[in-house]
Structure 1
Amino acid sequence: MTPQPKLMQYQDMDCFSATLDHAIISDLPRNPAIKRILIIKWGGMGDIVISTAIMEDISLAFPHAELHLNTMPAWQSLFDHDPRFSRVWCVNLQQRPGRWRAYRQWLAEVAAMQYDLVIDLQTNDKSRSLLAMLRLIGQAAPLLLGNHPCFPYTIRQRQELPQAHSFQIMQQTLLSAGIPLRTRSPKLNIAPVTVAAAAALLAQHGLATGSFAVFLCGSHAGGLTKRWGAAHYATLVEHCARQGERVVLLGGRDEAEECLAIASQYPRCVVNLCGQTSLLEVPVICSHAKYIVANDTGTAHLAAATSTAMTVICGPTNPLRVKPPGAHVLALQLDIPCKNCYAKQCSHHSCMGQLLPSQLLPYLPVSRAQNA
C-alpha cells in the first residue's frame, strides 16, 4: 500500500523583514525635495492587494507628499475611496490594437506630472522599459526606485531576492530607500456604502456574524490546476452542515461553474454569492465569517485583508511565494516530488487530488482554535 504523502504546513510569514539586508542605500523620507510621488503597481489581484501594505508604509513615511497611483483599470475600484492617494490613474497597456498609443499616453502622463520620486512596485520588463525611455529623453523623475538592482533605477538594492515572496521583495525595496516597515498585512480602505451593501447582502440571506464559513473554491480561468476541486469542497460542505454551519461561496465570473456545482448539491446550507459582489464587498463579508477555506487565488488575498482565520490549499504553486501574509493564514501542501511545478495543465493533478478532505479537517481554522 502506497503511503500517503506528508502534509506540509506554512503559517507565520510575517517576519520577512528579519531575513532582509537592512543596509540603507538612500534615506528618502528625509529628502525635503520629494513632494510628489508616483507608485506603479499593475499586477494580478493578489499581488495588488499585498502591495497595499507597502503603499501604507510609503504613505506613513511621506506624510506631506502628494501620492499618485498608476494601476490597471481592473483594479481601480480597489482605490476609489482611498485617502492615501490624491490621484489614481490607469492606462490599459494590455490592449490590442492600440498598444503603442497606450505606451505614448503613459509616457506623456508621467512626464507631465513631473514626479520627484517614482516607486516601481511592478518592476517587470514593461515598466523598466517605459521608465528607461523617460530617463533616456531626460523626462524621468530624479529618483527612481524599483524591486531589482538594475537600470533605469537610480536607487538599487545590494542584493536580489528572485525566489522570495513578492511581499518580501517589496519590503526590501522600501528598506533600501530608508522607508520603515510598519505594516504587516494588506491595508484596504473601504467606503461606508460598500460596507453597508455587504451587510445588507448577509442580512438578506440570514447570515449572522460567526455563523458561516466562506469557501473560495475557484481560480481564474488560466489557473485551473490551482483548484482543489468541487467534489472535495462539497465534502467539506457536508461536514459544515453536520456542524450546523452554513457556507458562503464567493468568486468571480471564471469561478461561477465551480461554485454552482457545489451549491446545487447542498441548496439548504450553501449561499452562492459568486458573481454577486464587488471586489471590496469580499473582505467585508469575510470579516463576518467564522473561518475561510481557499485555493491559491487572488480572492484569497482580498479575504486575508481581514483577521478571519484562513486555510489556503496549495499544490502547483509554492506557499513560500504565494501565501497571503498574516499569522492568521495557514497554507497546506502535499509533499510530493512534482509540487511547485507552476504548470497550467496536468494529466494527473496529484498535488491537489491526493489531498483528501479528511486530511484537511484537522487544519481547518475552527479545528485549530479548538485544539489551541
Structure 2
Amino acid sequence: MHKQARLKSYLDADCLSDSLDQTVVCDLPARQEIKRILIIKWGGMGDIVMSTAAIEDIHQAFPQAVLHLNTLPAWQSLFADDPRFERIWCLNLQQTSGRWRIYRQWLAEVAAMQYDLIIDLQTNDKSRLLLSLLRLSGRAPRWLLGNHARFPYTVRQIHALPQAHSFQILQQTLITAGIPALTTGPTLAVSAAAQTAAQQLLSQHGLTSQPFAVFLCGSHAGMATKRWGAEHYAALVAHCIARGERVVLLGGQDEAETCQQIASRHPAQVVNLCGQTSLLAVPAICARAQYIVANDTGTAHLAATTPTPMVVLCGPTNPLRVKPVGAQVVALQLDLPCKNCYAKQCSHHSCMRQLTPAQVFPYLPEVKRHHA
C-alpha cells in the first residue's frame, strides 16, 4: 500500500506575488495621440476570461479612446454586450487550411483601421509573426505592446515573469506601459438576456427556492487528464444530497458524456444543464449557487467572475499558474512527485484518481438557505 499523498490547498495569496515590478518604460496613457486601440486576445476560455481584468484597466486608462477587440469566433458572444468595445472582430486564426489567406486578411484589416496602439495580450509565436509582418510592411502603429522584450514590440519589457501566474503576466505587461494594473479579477458584462435565461432555467427545475451546488466536471477533450472523473463526482453528489442540496451540472459538448454518467446516478437531485446554456448564462447561474466544484477548465474561470465560493481540483496542471483568480477560490492538489506534468495522456492518472471525495468534503462551504 502506498502512503496517501498529502493534499495541499492554494489561495490567491499563494499564487499571486505582491512584488510586481513597477518600472514604467513608456507612459502610454499620457499620449494624447492614442485615440484608437486594438486589443488582441485569442487563446482558450480561461485565458480570455482572465484577460478581462487587463481589458478593464486599459479601458480606465484610456477613457477617451475607442477600443476594438480581436478574438476568436468562439468567444465573440462573451463580449456581445460589453460597453467597453466599439467593435469586436473575429477570424479563425487556429484553422490550418487556408492559413496564409486568413493571415493576409488579418493584416489588411489591422492596417485599414489605422490603430494608434496595439496591445497584444496573446503574445505567442503567431501574434508576434503577424505583428512582425505588419511592422516590416510599414503599416504598424508607433506603439506595439506585448510581454516580450523583443521585436516587434516597441514598448519593451525589462523583467520577464516566466513562472508567474498568467494573470500577473498580463498585469506586468500593462505596468510596463504606464497602465495602472488596478483590477483584481475578471470583469464580464453579463447581459440582461443571459440573466433572464438563467433565471428561467432555475425556475423550470425548481431551483429558485432550494440550495444547490454547481459542478463543472469536464475539461477540453484534448486535456482529459484534468478530469476528476464521473465516479468521484457522483460520490460528491451523494454527499451534497445528504446535506439537503441539489446539484447542477454545467459544461459544453466535450463534457456531455461525463455529465450524463453523473446525472444517471441521481436523476431526481441532479439537474443536467450541460450543453443547454450560453456562455454568459454560466456565471448568471453560478452567482445563485451555494458553491462550485470544478476541474481546471476554462468554465471555472468563467464561474469565478462571481462571488460564489469555488473549489478547483488540480492534478497535472500547476495551481500556482492556473488557479482562477479570486479570494473565493481555493485550488486543491495532491502533493505527488508527478504533479504538474501537463501530460495529455497518463497510464495511472494518480493525481486525480487518488484525490478522494472524502478529502474534498471539508472544503465545501456550509449550506446557506438564502434563496427566496
1:314 aligns with 2:310: no
Report the Cα offset of residue 181 of structure 1: 1.5
The aligned counterpart of 2:46 is: 46
Q: 1:266 is matched by which residue type in structure 2?
A: H
**Is 1:76 aligned to 2:72, yes or no?**
no
Aligned partner of 1:64 in structure 2 is 64
Is the 2:14–2:320 contact (alpha carbons within 8 Å) kept by the matching residues of 1?
A: no
Q: Which amino acid aligns with 1:236?
A: L
More moved, 251-260 vs 162-171: 162-171
Q: Return the TM-score normalized by structure 2.
A: 0.97
Cα deviation code 1:109-143 (max 9, x no counterpart):
00011100000000000000100011111100110
- The CA RMSD measured in Å over matched residues stands at 1.4
**Which amino acid is 1:166 matched to?**
S
Q: Which amino acid aligns with 2:8?
A: M
Rounded Cα–Cα distance in structure 2 between residues aligned with 1:168 and 1:11: 15
Give runs of aligned pairs for residues 77-226 of structure 1, distance below 5 A: 77-208=77-208, 211-226=211-226
Note if contact 2:42-2:72 (Cα within 8 Å) is conserved in structure 1. yes
Q: 1:89 to 1:13 in 2, by over 3 A?
A: farther
Partner amino acid for 1:88?
A: I
Aligned with 1:365: secondary structure? Answer: coil
Looking at structure 2, the residues matched to 116 and 301 of structure 1 have their Cα atoms a distance apart, in angstroms, of 31
* TM-score of the superposed pair, with normalisation by structure 1: 0.97
91-100 vs 255-264, which moves further: 91-100
Aligned to 1:347: 347
| Residue 3 of structure 1, CA deviation | 2.1
Give the corresponding residue for 2:363.
Answer: 363
Gaps of 5+ in 2: 368-372
Separation in 2, partners of 1:7, 1:15: 16
The superposition leaves residues 230-265 of structure 1 with CA deviations (integer Å, 9 ceiling, x where unpaired) of 000000000011111000000000000000000000
User: Aligned residue for 1:370?
Assistant: none
Secondary structure of the structure 2 residue equivalent to 1:326: coil
Q: 8 Å contact 2:45–2:299 — kept in the other structure?
A: yes
Choose 358-367 or 212-221, whichever is displaced more: 358-367
Q: How far apart, in 1, do the equivalents of 2:64 and 2:13 lie?
A: 31
Counterparts in 2 of 1:268-283, with a 5 A limit?
268-283=268-283
| Alpha carbons 2:309, 2:365 under 8 Å: kept | yes
State the secondary structure of the residue aligned to 2:12. coil
Give the count of matched residue pairs: 368
Report the 3-state secondary structure (helix = DSSP H, G, I; strand = E; otherwise coil) of the residue aligned with 1:103. helix
CA offsets 1:185-205 (integer angstroms, 9 cap, x no match): 110001111110111011000
What CA distance in whole angstroms lies between the structure 2 residues aligned with 1:136 and 1:152? 9
Segments of 5+ residues of structure 1 without an aligned counterpart are 368-372
Query: What whole-Å deviation, never above 9, does each CA across 1:302-336 have from its counterpart, x for those lacking one?
Result: 00010000000000000001000011000000000
Does structure 1 conserve the Cα–Cα contact (< 8 Å) formed by 2:218 and 2:295? yes
Task: Determine if contact 2:216/2:292 at 8 Å carries over to the other structure.
Answer: yes
Aligned AA for 1:304? A
